[in-house]
Amino acid sequence: MFSIHDEEAIKKFFSWQKIPLFRYAQIENALYKNFVFDFEAMQTIPKTLREQLIENFFFFSLTCYEKISSENGQTTKILFKTSDGFFVESVIMRHLTGRNTLCISCQAGCAMGCSFCATGKLGLQRNLTFYEIVEQVMFAAKLLNEEGVILRNVVYMGMGEPFLNYENVKKSIQIICEQKKLNLANRRVTVSSCGIIPWIQAFMNDFSQTSLAISLHAPNDEVRNMMMSVNKKYPLADLMQTLLEYEKKTNKRIFYEYIMIQWVNDSLALATELAQLLEWRLAHVNFIPYNSWEGRGGTYKAPSRIIIENFQRTLEKYGIPSTIRATMGDDIDAACWQLARKKGEEEKE
């Protein structure tokens, strides 16, 4: 069986069965434009072909294990189970401005082990295939479509490090942005990395229009080494040099993610260091107040709002734009991939 998103497999099958290619255009239209996830319901396709398709292709390998929405309805978390028993999450965020964003996962677990991250605690379970990534997008796009809303923004900021599953991430972006398919604007798709330098270089060559976010979280090696082991392999100076090349090549603003943790990376001295690091850069900083999760919650805490605002003001003085991200969905454990971690650990026991 092959995924319906595997265009190469479908086209091979069509050529082998001598089925005209316009039939594929009909499937694409039903699937990506009208969210029909059932061959039987594709009435423009002859019955015999529908039967052949049912025997050979599937729409979803992931199953929706749980779907919960926050009390205010702004956030919906979808917990998926892979066919081999791993849990991954996607989160839909409906912003008050009317914008909506889907955050998706690209790996089950993650090898990077960042000290503040629930997913890192699981270790890497496995890479997701391109179609498992696309399925998350299709599921959410249909859900929003039923609410009369079009999915506009997708961020690869869920479980996993996208650049350690580059080929599958690449193929999934190509599918969701293809005009005949979901037709998402490239600039509205954001890939977030903790800073794997060789793959940032590959990304800038492959996707000059797609947005890049960097999990920075600290403005010097000392603090960053403590929080993110990736920094030992790819130190900050080398990362910033690569990002300068990215800016020059793409002329695009980079989003820097900065998780705010009390007494770890929230001092005004670090704010000044951060401002000096990003001054004259095409940069936008997103401050993310730390979201505690069981296991680490005792040692890490979010700073007060005043501390975060003072930090932000320091950046303002240097002309660096920033946003304090509203914590969405913490009532449903959506913000830090806690539920998938919990489920993953429960299954291991």
Please tell me whether residue 145 adopts helix, strand or coil conformation.
helix
- Pick the catalytic residue from 7, 89, 135, 257: 89
Q: Is 89 a catalytic residue?
A: yes
Question: Interface with ligand SF4 includes 110 (CB under 6 A)?
Answer: yes
Question: Interface with ligand SF4 includes 112 (CB under 6 A)?
Answer: yes
Nearest residue to 158 via CA among 27, 24, 337: 337
Q: CB-wise, 52 or 229, nearer to ligand SF4?
A: 229
Count of residues near ligand SF4 by CB under 6 A: 12
Please tell me whether residue 52 adopts helix, strand or coil conformation.
helix
Angle at CA of residue 199, ends 195 and 204, nearest 5°: 100
Only one of the segments 109-117, 170-178, 182-190, 260-268 lies at the binding site for ligand SF4 (rule: CB under 6 A); that segment is: 109-117
Residue nearest to ligand SF4 (CB): 120
Distance CA(68)–CA(86), nearest Å, equals: 18
DSSP 218-282: -SSHHHHHHH-THHHHS-HHHHHHHHHHHHHHH--PEEEEEEE-TTTS--HHHHHHHHHHHTTSS
Only one of the segments 107-115, 170-178, 196-204, 241-249 lies at the binding site for ligand SF4 (rule: CB under 6 A); that segment is: 107-115
* Maximum C-alpha span of the chain: 69
Distance CA(307)–CA(328), nearest Å, equals: 20
Interacting residue with ligand SF4 among 120, 162, 219, 289 (CB under 6 A)? 120
Q: CB-wise, 111 or 324, nearer to ligand SF4?
A: 111
Please tell me whether residue 205 adopts helix, strand or coil conformation.
helix
Q: CB-wise, 159 or 334, nearer to ligand SF4?
A: 159
3-state SS of the chain: helix, strand, coil percent to 5?
45, 20, 35
Interacting residue with ligand SF4 among 135, 161, 266, 333 (CB under 6 A)? 161
- Pick the catalytic residue from 106, 117, 194, 336: 336
Q: CB-wise, 125 or 314, nearer to ligand SF4?
A: 125
Interacting residue with ligand SF4 among 62, 117, 169, 261 (CB under 6 A)? 117
Question: Interface with ligand SF4 includes 119 (CB under 6 A)?
Answer: yes
Q: Where are the strands (E) in 8-84, listed by range?
A: 57-58, 63-69, 75-81
Q: Which of the residues 197 through 226 are near ligand SF4 (CB under 6 A)?
A: 215
Q: Is 106 a catalytic residue?
A: no
Binding mask 269-288 toward ligand SF4 (x if CB under 6 A, else -) reads: --------------------
Question: Interface with ligand SF4 includes 292 (CB under 6 A)?
Answer: no
Please tell me whether residue 37 adopts helix, strand or coil conformation.
coil
Decide if 163 contacts 199 (C-beta within 8 A).
Answer: yes
Interacting residue with ligand SF4 among 9, 65, 113, 282 (CB under 6 A)? 113
The Cβ of residue 186 has, within 10 Å, a number of other Cβ atoms equal to 14
Binding site for ligand SF4 (CB under 6 A): 110, 112-114, 117, 119-120, 159-161, 194, 215
Q: Which residues are designated catalytic? A: 89, 336
